[in-house]
Structures are given as structure tokens and as C-alpha cells.
Amino acid sequence: MSDGGRTGEAARAREESRGKAAPKKKFYRARAHSNPLNAGNLDATITPDDFDQRLPQMFLNPKEGARVDMVDVGCGFGGLVIGLGKLYPDNLVLGLEIRAKVCEFVQERVRTERRQSNGKICANAFAIRVNAMKCLPNLFRKGQLKKMFFLFPDPHFKVSNHRRRVITVKLLDEYAYLLKVGGIIYTITDVEELGAWMHEHLEAHPLFERLTDEELDRDPAARLLETGTEEGQKVKRNGGTNHRHVYRRIDFSESE
């Protein structure tokens, strides 16, 4: 069968299964990674006010004045988005994914959870297709976010591609702007070199301080880092080693 035939068959299967059962990954095939420097802003709106107008299209009956305060950047197939939605029912959780078919899969997964629970589960969770490296300030205000997650990001091994990494000096400045004081940035990878890179950049930034092991033990979200995603579960099955680095956004005066 030609590539066009397989694509058409997958599209028909997605449409037939929509609204009936949980989506199947085999109908949502996509490349493992995407170049964020070539991708446009995709779903980005002009201002956070514009984006807030879209919240009722994504979440079930959000409270008046509610805003997204937890984001999973590069959410993949949505395991963490679903987990956070269940763990924090009073918060709005949004997954950000650059790959169209993968984002569509997460959206269908969320809708399935809602249908099967009569809207009691994941009413507060969703995902959108967006290039998070280019447009986060278009979506969120200064100090709006409580938690940001960067789980198993693309390592971009070549030195010439390190600028594509989701943790850089420039991007950490942006994340610090979006996180409220006391907000948490969570990172994890099974690539030792990337783990060292993320730790080095976070440690050097004046607006972040590392959480202690005791604080992580008390944080229910931290327990999802290794088990709440498909990638984390694969690493565990294969006996791999994870490198977890979690930091708190601090006030500038505390860093002096």
C-alpha cells in the first residue's frame, strides 16, 4: 500500500473511533521529534487575554476568572496531562505539543476520560498544538504558572543543535517570567549529558533554587515524573537511569 493509502486509512480509523473508545497510537503515528526552530507559532494567539477567551472550548465549565496554571511542555501522548488533571482537579492543566497527530491523540484521550466518567475526570485538562519555544508569553501572563514540566525532552545531541534544547539561558529567563514566585520547574531525562546540561543551566540561574530530597518526597507531582509518562515507564522497563532536576522560582531579593 502506498504512503497515501496508509495515511487515508489511518485518518478514516481515527474518525470512526472518535467518540466510541480510547484512541489508539497506531492511528496517530508521527516523527519522534520536530525541529522547533523551523516550526511556526501554530496555535498561538496574540495575547493572554485572547487565549483566555478560548478556555471554555478546552475545559469543561471552567470557573469564572480561572487560568491555566500548570503546563506540560512537549506533552507527548499525554500521560502526565491526564495524571495531573486527576491529581489537581481544581487547577487547569494544559499540555503543549508541537506534533499535530500527537496533539490530536491527547485531545481524544482527554475526551475519552471525560465521556467515561461523565465529565468528572479531566474536565480540567487539555492539550493544544503550539511551539512552546516561540510563543509562551502569547499564552500566559507574568507570574501566572505554578508548575512547568519538561519531561524527557529531545536531547539534540549535536553541539550545533544545542540551541534547540528546551532548557537554555534565554528560555529559563522566559520561564522565570511566567512562573509565580514559589512556582516549580520539573525536568527529567534518561540522557546523562542532557541531565547535566539542564542541572548546570538551572543551577546557574539567579531566579531558581534546587528543591531538597525531603521537599521532593512531599511533592505528589514529583512522583509522576518517572511513572506518569509513557517515556518514563519505558525507561523503567528497560532498566535505565533517570536524571531528575527540580527547581523553585525564587524572588530576586532572595538570590542576592
Q: ∠ CA 195-199-200 to the nearest 5 degrees? A: 115
Residues 74 and 36 sit within 8 Å (Cβ to Cβ): no
Q: Which residues are catalytic?
A: 154
Q: Which three cell numbers stand for residue 121?
A: 475526570
C-alpha closest to that of 150 among 139, 138, 136: 136
Residue 211 CB partners (closer than 8 Å, separation 6+): 184, 219, 222, 246, 247, 248
Classify burial at 115, counting beta carbons within 10 Å of its beta carbon; exposed 0-12, middle 13-18, buried 19 or more.
middle
Task: Tell me how far apart the alpha carbons of residues 158 and 19 are, in angstroms, rounded to a whole number.
Answer: 42
Under a CB-based contact definition with an 8 Å cutoff, are residues 148 and 73 in contact?
yes
3-state secondary structure of 250: coil
Task: For 100-158, give the secondary structure using H, E and C.
Answer: HHHHHHHHHHHHHHHHHCCCCCCCCEEEEEECHHHHHHHHCCCCCEEEEEEECCCCCCC
- CA 251 – CA 200 distance, rounded (Å): 20
